[in-house]
Structure 1
Amino acid sequence: MQWMGRRGSTNVEDRRGIGGGKTIIGGGIGGLVILLLVTLLGGNPGQLLSQLTTTGADTSVPYQQTEQEKQMTQFVSVVLADTETVWTELFKEKGLTYEKPTLVLFTDNVQSACGTASSATGPFYCPGDRKLYIDLSFYDELRTKFRAPGDFAMAYVIAHEVGHHVQNLLGTMEGVGNQRSNDFSVRLELQADYLAGVWAHHEQGMGVLEVGDVDEALNAASAVGDDTLQKQAQGYVVPETFTHGTSEQRKRWFYKGVQSGDIYGGDTFHTKQL
Structure 2
Amino acid sequence: MKWIGRRQSENVEDRRGMSGGGKAIIGGGAIGIIVLLLQLFGGETGQNIGNILEQTNGQQSQQTTQTESRPLTEEEKEIGAFVSTVFADTEDIWAKIFQENNLEYRQPKMVLFTEAVETACGSATSASGPFYCPGDEKVYMDLAFFNELQTRFGAKGGDFAIAYVIAHEVGHHIQTVMGTSNKVRQLQQNQNQTQANKLSVALELQADFYAGLWAKYNQENLDMDDLDEALSAAQAVGDDAIQSRTQGHVEPDSFTHGTSEQRKYWFMKGFKTGDIRQGDTFAEIN
TM normalised by structure 1 equals 0.87
Secondary structure at the residue paired with 1:211?
A: coil
Asked whether the 8 Å contact 2:50–2:121 carries over to 1, the reply is no
Q: 1 CA distance for matches of 2:267 and 2:221?
A: 19
**Does structure 1 residue 42 correspond to structure 2 residue 42?**
yes
Q: Does 1:268 align with 2:269?
A: no
For the 8 Å contact 2:239–2:260, the answer to whether it is kept is yes
Moved more, 78-87 or 39-48: 39-48
Instruction: Find the partner of 1:121 among 117, 125, 128.
Output: 128
Q: Is the 8 A contact 1:226 1:245 kept in 2?
A: yes
Deviations 1:212-269 (A, max 9, x none): 1111101111110000011110111111111100000000000000001112211011
Q: How many pairs are equivalent?
A: 262
8 A contact 1:42–1:164 mirrored in 2: no
More helix by share: 2
Offset of residue 37 of structure 1 = 9.2
Give the distance between the partners of 2:38 and 2:15, measured in 1 at CA.
Answer: 19
Write the distance in 2 (CA, Å) between the matches of 1:36 and 1:7. Answer: 32
SS in 2 for 1:168: helix
Q: 1:103-114 counterparts in 2 under 5 A?
A: 103-114=110-121
Tell me the distance in 1 between the aligned counterparts of 2:276 and 2:118: 31
Q: Does the aligned pair in 2 maintain the 1:107–1:135 contact within 8 Å?
A: yes
Amino acid at match of 2:19: I
Is residue 197 of structure 1 aligned with residue 206 of structure 2?
no
Residue 198 of structure 2, aligned match among 162, 183, 206: 183
After superposition, the C-alpha distances for 1:101-120 in whole angstroms (9 at most, x for unaligned) are 11101111111111111101
Deviation at 1:43, TM superposition (A): 2.5
Q: Which of the numbers 208, 230, 233 marks the counterpart of 1:217?
A: 230
User: Within 5 A, what are the aligned runs for 1:38-77?
Assistant: 39-47=39-47, 60-77=67-84
Q: Deviations over 1:109-152 (max 9, x none)?
A: 11111111110110000011100000011122223222321111
SS at match of 2:222: coil
Query: For residue 28 of structure 1, what is the aligned residue in structure 2?
Result: none
- The alpha-carbon deviation at position 36 of structure 1 amounts to 7.9
Rounded Cα–Cα distance in structure 1 between residues aligned with 2:69 and 2:217 = 39
Distance in 2, Cα, partners of 1:88 & 1:59:
40
Task: List alignment gaps of at least 5 residues for structure 2.
Answer: 25-30, 55-62, 190-195
| 1:153 Cα deviation after fit | 0.9
**2:23/2:117 contact within 8 Å kept:** no
Using the alignment, how far apart are the partners of 1:64 and 1:38 within structure 2?
A: 32
Kept after mapping to 2: 8 A contact 1:69/1:136? no
| Amino acid of the structure 2 residue aligned with 1:237 | V
% identical equivalent positions: 56
- Please give the alpha-carbon distance, in whole angstroms, between the structure 2 residues aligned to 1:222 and 1:58: 39
For 1:172, the equivalent position in structure 2 comes to 180
User: What is the TM-score normalised by the length of structure 2?
Assistant: 0.84
- Distance in 2, Cα, partners of 1:120 & 1:128: 20
Give SS of 1:132's match. Answer: strand
Return closer, same or farther for 1:49/1:253 CA change in 2, 3 Å cut-off: closer
Alignment of 1:230-241 (within 5 A): 230-241=243-254
Which secondary structure does the structure 1 equivalent of 2:9 belong to? coil
Which letter does structure 2 place at the counterpart of 1:183? K
Letter in 2 for 1:190: L
